[in-house]
């Protein structure tokens, strides 16, 4: 059973042995499937059929500033397009590339980063096609918004409090200094007065990281899930006195450690965002570990590399709390996917029953909502009375569903309420043609 705190829950940690193993690279990738657009706009590839494309070369040249110029993650031959249905992104028009080579990241001499202004950094982030792994939002979009609205403090979020994922830890272990350099660039872009990296690590793992970054640049979050509220309640980094804590009025914004690293590499070496570190775990995986993979790589390639103890009955893109079930392992790895779980059996869930009014969902909600009351009004079609309960503040962490003794999908229903907007939606079934 979970241990309750004032807000959030404590989850069992299953990060080992993946967290203790070195990041590996896939030995072989035969084909990648890369989106031509993450929006609704239809974009044609700039390369011709059966033309060779180099790693990092643009696949698209969007006219709208809202669309990212996406690059090839591998060197290969453009063999056509296809439409895929992805659990995280929906329907996507994609380019299919038959791989000739999966290259390393030769970097050369870094550029001088001292004179990069905000406008230049925003252009670099957009041109590199950087998408933040925390929420799947393009980095330049987030930085532009924070620059306009104001950001007092910027945090590289390497916490990953969910049970299995450890890809952020792996990235920090390899490239903590470069992550911090990227965070510094992002902070200068939005005008933040300070920055630090937030982690959720044991003292043994945290101490060497603090030595590399400096204790004042590292923050240990409380031992609970989710941890998005830490910036408002716990604002004193390691090595600092409570008097040095951020004021409660300060606006704190978060970006992922992999996005920070991608921003540094784009600014220093002109490298586009071509891949990510992904945790491959679950009880059906023979060798759980973190892998660096080019975007567009089929999930099956990752499972083959790590090996399977038996054929998984359940595949999750993401971790246990917020991941999405996938029907096929042929789906590609895309930005925002930092964990893949292969499980022997479907996770056990209770048969849903009626709400018993225990209040556990409200106790654990880190957004301070009343989930059971939101669901009650939704189910009773009192849509006009939902606005005062602010269901739109839900971020879908799933803690309320996790603790519900009645086995109800509380988080899913709260999300439905957030999109009701005072309107009644009824499913009338199939239309009667008679």
Same domain, 79 and 114: no
Residue 300 lies in a domain: no
Same domain, 182 and 88: no
Residue 281 lies in a domain: no
- C-alpha distances (whole Å) from 401 to each of 254, 363, 366 are 25, 12, 13
Same domain, 7 and 47: no
Residue 333 lies in a domain: no
pLDDT of residue 106: 65
Same domain, 188 and 242: yes
pLDDT of residue 4: 39
pLDDT of residue 245: 62
Same domain, 95 and 190: no
Same domain, 96 and 114: no
Same domain, 91 and 166: no
User: Domain containing 162: what range?
Assistant: 3-15+107-269
Residue 324 lies in a domain: no
pLDDT of residue 231: 46
> How do residues 34-55 score in pLDDT, each as one tens digit?
999 887 667 888 889 999 999 9
Same domain, 50 and 124: no
- Helices 167-190 + 139-149 axis angle, to 10: 40
Domain boundary among 216, 241, 269: 269
pLDDT of residue 226: 85
Tally of structural domains, the chain:
3
Residue whose tokens read 């995986």: 285
For residue 272, give both structure tokens.
């586009």
pTM of the model: 0.88
Report d(CA 192, CA 153) in Å as an integer. Answer: 5
- Which residue numbers in the chain have pLDDT < 50? 1-5, 229-235, 243, 426-429, 431-434
Nearest CA-CA partner of 203 in 185, 220, 217, 182: 220
Residue 155 lies in a domain: yes
pLDDT of residue 433: 46
Same domain, 192 and 123: yes
CA 118 to chain centroid, in Å, comes to: 24
pLDDT of residue 428: 43
What DSSP state is assigned to residue 2?
A: P
């Amino acid at each position: 059973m979970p241990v309750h705190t004032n807000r959030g829950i404590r989850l069992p940690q299953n990060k080992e042995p993946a967290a203790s193993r070195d990041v590996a690279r896939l030995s072989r990738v035969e084909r990648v499937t890369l989106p031509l657009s993450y929006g609704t706009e239809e974009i044609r590839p700039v390369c011709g059929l059966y033309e060779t494309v180099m790693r990092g070369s643009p696949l698209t040249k969007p006219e709208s500033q809202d669309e990212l110029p996406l690059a090839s993650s591998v060197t290969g031959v453009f063999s056509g397009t296809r439409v895929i249905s992805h659990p995280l992104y929906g329907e996507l028009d994609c380019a299919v590339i038959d791989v000739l080579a999966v290259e390393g990241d030769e970097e050369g001499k870094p550029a001088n980063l001292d004179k990069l202004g905000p406008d230049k950094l925003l252009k670099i982030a957009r041109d590199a096609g950087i998408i933040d792994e925390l929420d799947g939002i393009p980095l330049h979009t987030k930085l532009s918004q924070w620059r306009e609205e104001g950001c007092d403090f910027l945090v590289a979020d390497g916490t990953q409090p969910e049970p299995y994922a450890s890809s952020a830890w792996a990235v920090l272990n390899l490239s903590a200094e470069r992550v911090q350099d990227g965070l510094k660039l992002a902070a200068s872009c939005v005008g933040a007065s300070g920055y630090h990296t937030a982690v959720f690590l044991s003292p043994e793992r945290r101490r060497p990281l603090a030595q590399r970054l400096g204790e004042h640049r590292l923050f240990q979050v409380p031992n609970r899930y989710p941890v998005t509220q830490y910036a408002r309640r716990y604002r004193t980094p390691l090595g600092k006195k409570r008097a040095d804590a951020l004021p409660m009025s300060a606006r704190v914004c978060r970006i992922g450690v992999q996005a920070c690293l991608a921003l540094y590499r784009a600014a220093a070496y002109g490298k586009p965002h071509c891949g990510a570190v992904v945790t491959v775990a679950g009880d059906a995986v023979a060798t759980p570990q973190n892998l660096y993979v080019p975007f567009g790589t089929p999930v099956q390639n990752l499972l083959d590399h790590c090996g399977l103890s038996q054929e998984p009955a359940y595949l999750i893109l993401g971790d246990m709390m917020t991941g999405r079930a996938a029907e096929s392992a042929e789906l590609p790895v895309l930005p925002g996917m930092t964990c893949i779980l292969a499980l022997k059996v479907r996770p056990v869930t209770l048969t849903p029953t009626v709400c018993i009014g225990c209040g556990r969902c409200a106790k654990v909600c880190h957004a301070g909502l009343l989930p059971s009351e939101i669901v009650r009004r939704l189910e009773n079609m009192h849509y006009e009375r939902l606005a005062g309960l602010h269901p739109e503040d839900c971020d879908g962490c799933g803690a309320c569903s996790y603790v519900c003794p009645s086995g109800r999908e509380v988080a899913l229903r709260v999300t439905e309420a957030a999109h009701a907007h005072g309107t009644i939606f009824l499913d009338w079934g199939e239309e009667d043609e008679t």
